[in-house]
Homo-oligomer: A and B are copies of this chain.
Amino acid sequence: MLAATASDTALLRAAPPELLSRAQQDFRSLLTAFLMRHAGPDARLNDALAYAMANGGKRVRPALAWGACLAVGGPWQAADSAALAVECIHGYSLVHDDLPCMDDDDLRRGQPTCHRQFDEATALLAGDTLQALAFCALSDASTDAELAPYSAQQTQALSVAARDMVYGQRLDLAAEGRSIRVDELSQIHRFKTGALIRAAVRLGALAGGATEAQLAALDQYADALGLAFQVHDDVLDVIGDTATLGKHAGADAAHSKATYPALLGLAPAQALAAELTEQALAALTPLGSGAEPLATLARYLLARDH
């Protein structure tokens, strides 16, 4: 296994979003090389894959994978393949969720969605390819004999998350237009977004050589963080400013979508997000100072205004 470098160690003491900004920067070059390695014979499909992955937002999931690897004492690069794998699954899910037969969205983060930029068949195939590429990423790394021992556990964690994410999308579609309870809403989010956040943390931790106790602590962290992230997202939709959000504030209410503020009230929803963040932070305690970047990330995600 590679040794932790001086810059890994520096990051452990870093200011708020350094884990995230390093993740964003590293991910860009990693992605370019990865897509070149897996380029297919059709240029248009290659373009669609790059397009879908470029419009990538904050790279929270790769940051979680790298942060979890550092938290258990592993070196940053050990989690490269985990970062790629979870972000490929995330990218595929966005492309398919935007399709006409699903949410039928024309824009994502201000850019035309994949099927608008290309066409529906290309977007469908790009999503399908990205799901396959996620598992290619995991097994690319395992050609390194040292990385093989936890390969089965990574495949298991990622495939179960990919399965549960679809189940969550299905629950979400089925809940549209009917009133649901707050525990049902939490179940939807645990499947739809929580599963992949847990997988990001777990894959990174496995790559870093985590013990069972470390994995259990990080699972708790990821579970609380995933829900906190979603509650805060709902809160932002109510209190946020349209220009900052990059989407219409109040869009959830306009679509009569179930949200935490709608079900609980705004202040209780804000309190719930804060409480879940505290739970996430508490779960990190046994990991010591190595988990500081993950703690900082959790605080940052709750404080964000977009």
Interface residues, chain A, CB within 8 Å of chain B? 38, 40-42, 44-45, 92, 96, 99, 101-102, 119-122, 124-125, 127-129, 131-136, 138-140, 142-143, 148-149, 151-153, 155-156, 158-160, 162-164, 166-167, 169-171, 173-174, 187, 191
Contact = CB atoms under 8 A, between A and B. Distances in A.
B125 A142 contact: no
Counted per complex, copies of this chain come to: 2
B156 A143 contact: yes
A44 B169 CA distance: 13
Contact of A129 (B124, B153, B167): B167
A163 B96 contact: no
Given A96-B128, A128-B96, A40 B163 contact: yes
A297 B149 CA distance: 35
A174 B42 CA distance: 9
B138 A124 contact: no
Given A132-B166, A152-B151, A159 B139 contact: yes
Contacts of A135: 135, 155, 158-159, 162
Contacts of A171: 41-42
Contacts of A40: 163-164, 166-167, 170
B136 A38 contact: no
B124 A99 contact: yes
Contact of A131 (B132, B138, B170, B191): B132
A160 B136 contact: yes
B102 A132 contact: no
B121 A133 contact: no
Contacts of A136: 156, 159-160, 163
Contacts of A163: 38, 40, 129, 132-133, 136
